[in-house]
Amino acid sequence: MSLTLSSAHVHTTFCDGKTPAPDMAKTAAGLGFVSLGFSSHAPQDFDPGYCIPPDREEEYKAQIRALRQQYEGRMTIYLGIERDHFSCASPADYDYFLSAVHYFLKPDGHHTPIDGRPEDLQSYVNDYCGGDGLQMARQYFAMLRDDVLEMKPHIIAHFDLVRKNNAVLHLIDEESPAYRRAALDALRPLRETNALLEVNTGAIARKKLSTPYPAPFLLEAWREWGGEVIVNSDCHDAQYLDCAFDEAEELLRSLGYAHAVRLGKAEKWERYSLL
């Protein structure tokens, strides 16, 4: 049994998830969760299959608020969104939001998904980065850094998302000092925003990676800078709602974290012990 008993990064059939919101809440209650935060992909004006359709945003809010009432006293349900850098939606109406970068914007106005088909990312690297994966990673980190500094989210989602397709394409040497420096330099200024750095197990559930985002060297630096972390499953399918939480908690302990932060039952954000 893991200690986290919550996930603030959960998708449903309102966006690209497989599980309807009521079924996800039922699974969370069955696992003894203290809280559950829904975080559908915020509306955007491209790649419509991926996000909440703009004309269903109010329905999304209403359904999550109804679930909050239904589970009151048992498990606290929060209304959040995962807001992509290129989203047109405002996070103002939500209990919390995650900032994420899932796309590169090409000069022709189209977007290339970063964690979509490997061949699309490879084409972007060939066409716009001179074939250099490190240059692509630098572009990605700079976009995420600027987005977090501007939007000031509660949570920084999957900080090193480029690792997903790198596991297939091998565009970047993730052990190289140059890559590590690029990632650390982008992460360092985000500490001052007091955002939570997400330990995201979603790629483990989807069998794309064997370890969470972000890599241990980033989590280690974040702790040295006094940063706080939140363990999330980025769940798209209820059967993986707490997937690999034990491993994530063990990793955090091994890096010297004594506690993490989660959505609380009473308070919005609460610390819980990892020891």
Q: State the residues that interact with Zn ion by CB under 5 A.
A: 82, 100, 234
Task: Using the minimum distance from each CB to Zn ion, give the nearer residue, 61 or 254.
Answer: 61
The smaller minimum CB distance to Zn ion, of residues 40 and 139, is found at 40
Least distance (Å) from Zn ion to the CB of residue 162? 12
In 71-176, alpha helices (H)? 118-128, 133-151, 163-169
How near is the Cβ of 101 to Zn ion at its closest, in Å? 9
Residue 35: closest CA among 99, 98, 100, 95: 95
Minimum gap (Å) between residue 83 Cβ and Zn ion:
10
- What is the closest distance, in whole angstroms, from the C-beta atom of residue 102 to Zn ion in the complex? 6
Residue closer to Zn ion by CB (options 54, 113) is 113
Count CB atoms within 10 A of the CB of residue 37: 28
Q: Which is nearer to Zn ion, 82 or 95 (CB)?
A: 82
Separation of first and last alpha carbons in the chain? 13
Q: In this structure, what DSSP letter does residue 210 have? A: S
Query: What ranges make up the beta strands (E) of the chain?
Result: 35-41, 76-84, 96-100, 103-105, 111-113, 155-156, 196-200, 229-232, 259-263, 269-273
Nearest-approach distance from CB 213 to Zn ion, in angstroms: 10
User: Please, which residue, 13 or 70, has the CB nearer to Zn ion?
Assistant: 13
